[in-house]
Amino acid sequence: MIKKHRPIEKHRNRSVLYISAIILCIDLLFVAINYYTSHKTLQNTLLQQAENHRNEFDLTLNMTYRNMLQLSTFISNNDELNQLFLAGKKAVEKEGMHSDKVSQLRKALLDKVKVPWDLTVQKFNVRQLHYQLGPGSLSYLRVHEPNRFGDRMDNTRFTIIDTNAEKTAHVGFETGRVYSGLRGVSPVWTTDPATNERTYVGAVEVGTSFKQILPLFAHTFNVENAVLLSKEHVKKNMWQSYVSNYFRENTDIDYYLEASSSDDVKAVLAKTTINQGFIENNTTVFEEDGRYFSSYYFPLFDYQGTKDNTLPPVGFVLIWEDVTPLIVDFNRSFWVNILFSIMAFILLEIFLLWILRKEKKLSAAKREALIDGLTGLYNRRFFDALLKKESANALKANTPLSMIICDIDFFKRFNDTYGHPQGDEGLKQVAHTIQRIVDSHGGVACRFGGEEFVVVLPYTNLKDAINLAESIRKSVSSLGIPHESSLIRSHLTLSLGVSCTHDSPSSKSLLDAADARLYQAKEKGRNRVEPCFASAHGHSSDLSQ
């Protein structure tokens, strides 16, 4: 089997394409990593801002509860009001909620507290003042709506129930029969004139709503916000007749809008996917009217939910803000990186092409030193180095190395008859024929000098070399190049000598043996192949046509 012998110059352009592809992949990888890290940083920044706003909202909510509790505590310490409340309580216990005496006492309490309460409502973000009796939650006087009283809210007003039961203050968000509120509830104590003993009367509640505090929060922290309640929670707590009045129900959203600092809340909801349980740990970025916004939401728990963590949230708080500067800066940075990557790729390609061009020039110079200018085959200089190298390899690996020497028959007569230009053309045709056959068998063809050619065949035994030589002889003969002055044929022919290292162990003896076989081929009539083993086997092959 003949082993393929690789030429010195091969696959250069393909290598350049591979290198360019690798550079491009590295460039794209750099862009991808840069985009990922920048995008991750942007997300973390937006999430941190959102979490800061959540903390600010919680702080605002706690301050609101504190303010409500301070007001309710202040009112519960007014003993004149407390005495009227105690008298009313005794009358209710004796005559019922709707007796004339209870009505007179309720009006007396209302008249006493109405004016200062109205001033408080005007100056502070409060909405309701409510006196309630225990146990449970029995409405005695709604200062903000005095015509409604006598109803029990034992299933909704747990801040009142717990205050009346524990006789301690409580705060929290609750949805009542009519509306929701942020409430501070204080116990009411006073001295009973009949017994001169300190007596518990009931609870006084001061409340506000998200409608009062959301615009203030938006203005203070430069964000927009909204509170939305689940329809299940509203249906469970509010009187149905008040639902349609209190909420402007929208059929295209799944929640009741309790309050909002902006009319854009529906548009924000349309761009924000709300998860079940209202738990979100990331932000949503969307574009609206050429501006970029980041939205974030978190669950809202009512008073009961803050006490029992197994209860679901009653709704969620939605916060959104304009983050156009951040997004614009991110996009600008991304395109700058793209531009930088393109420029870097172009510069690297220019450098690579410059190196390639320089290498080509060096290769061309080396090639010119090793290639015969007329035939394009390797020259004698290259042959000498190749033969030395392949002979050493064959000796070391104990593999055969064969050689063929080819000589054009009566070529001097050809030049004399047709002229040197035609002779050069004949040399080219013969050289191309030899190279085509030798290349397909993994050999190397060289111009040995004048009209002589030599073929080096690594890993090739004598039999294969003889067959290859015969193929060359026949192919050159079949070219039919006219040679009227030839003494044997009317066209160009070759004489060939073949040798192998198994008979000639050194490169010099291998060349000498092939040259001797060529001489024998000429002596025996030319246009023939003469193997070097002819004498060893006691015969010679006459392969002439």
Q: Tell me the catalytic residues.
A: 451
Q: What share of the chain is helix, strand, coil (3-state, %, to 5)?
A: 50, 20, 25
CA separation for the pair 306, 310 (Å, rounded): 9
Which amino acid, residue 267? A
DSSP code, position 276: G
What radius of gyration do the chain's Cα atoms show? Answer: 53
Number of separate helices (H) and strands (E) present in the chain: 16, 15
Contact yes or no for 173/300 (Cβ under 8 A)? yes
Q: At how many degrees (to 10) do helices 380-397 and 324-370 cross?
A: 100
Would you give the DSSP letter of residue 378? B
Compute the distance between CA of residue 378 and CA of residue 453 in angstroms, rounded to an integer: 10
> Cα–Cα distance between 204 and 346 in angstroms, integer?
78
The strand ranges marked E within 162-222 are: 170-175, 180-192, 197-208
DSSP 491: B
Residue 441 CB contacts under 8 Å (≥ 6 apart), including other chains: 2, 457, 460, 464, 468
- Tell me the one-letter amino acid at 155: N
User: Which of 330, 322, 180 is closest to 264 using CA atoms?
Assistant: 322
What is the separation of C-alpha 537 from the centre of its chain, rounded to a whole number of angstroms? 75
Q: How far apart, in Å, are the Cα atoms of 178 and each of 33, 37, 237, 301?
A: 55, 50, 9, 19
Task: Report yes or no: 214 and 260 within 8 Å, Cβ to Cβ.
Answer: yes
Instruction: Give 398's Cβ-side CA count (13 Å radius).
Output: 0
Distance between the two ends of the chain, CA-based, in angstroms?
A: 28
Which residue, among 466, 456, 468, 455, has the nearest Cα to 393 in the 3D structure? 456
CB of 280 within 8 A of CB of 298?
yes
Closest of 525, 448, 158, 461 to residue 307, by C-alpha: 158
Task: Give the C-alpha separation, 409 to 472, whole Å.
Answer: 14
The structure tokens 């978190």 sit at 298
Cα separation, 530 vs 465, whole angstroms: 11
In which residue are the tokens 């203050």 written? Answer: 169
Residue 256 neighbours by CB under 8 Å, 6+ apart: 228, 229, 230, 231, 234, 243, 247, 249, 315
